[in-house]
């Protein structure tokens, strides 16, 4: 997956993200390349006394492991179930056409 996220009302600020997942059997490598750029003019929108330099971050995150190490992780299940609580966070999730479920 590769995407360029543009910012609202900013001239030349954006973030790029490239996510790559490779797997062989149960072993996987997740590679996330990202860069964030905030233009010097856009920085002045939040603080007019800021410096005249662009703010740029480029980095890579690599996660390697075995799927079996994550299958029965209770913390992951707890976080997933919490994010699906649409009443708690007051969000409206549409039902899917095939299953009529959220």
Domain total in the chain: 1
Report the pLDDT value the prediction gives residue 68, as an integer from 0 to 100: 82
Where residue 60 falls among pLDDT bands split at 50, 70, 90? very high
Mean pLDDT for 53-70 is 84
The greatest distance separating any two alpha carbons of the chain, rounded to the nearest whole angstrom, comes to 54
User: Residue 16: which domain range?
Assistant: 2-67
Q: Is residue 93 in a domain?
A: no
Report the pLDDT value the prediction gives residue 16, as an integer from 0 to 100: 84
Task: Name the CA radius of gyration of the chain, rounded.
Answer: 20
Mean pLDDT for 70-94 is 74
Q: Is residue 25 in a domain?
A: yes
Where residue 27 falls among pLDDT bands split at 50, 70, 90? very high
Token pair listed for 4: 């360029």
Report the pLDDT value the prediction gives residue 96, as an integer from 0 to 100: 61
Q: In what order do the strands lie in the sheet with 55-66?
A: 2-6, 14-24, 27-38, 55-66
């Amino acid at each position: 997956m590769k995407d360029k996220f543009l910012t609202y009302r900013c001239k030349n600020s954006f973030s790029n993200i490239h996510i790559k997942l490779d797997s062989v059997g149960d072993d996987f490598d997740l590679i996330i390349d990202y860069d964030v750029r905030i233009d010097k003019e856009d920085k002045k929108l939040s603080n007019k006394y800021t410096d005249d330099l662009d703010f740029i971050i480029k980095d890579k995150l690599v996660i390697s492991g075995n799927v079996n190490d994550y299958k029965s992780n209770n913390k992951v299940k707890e976080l997933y179930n919490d994010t699906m609580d649409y009443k708690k966070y007051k969000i409206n999730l549409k039902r899917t056409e095939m299953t009529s479920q959220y």
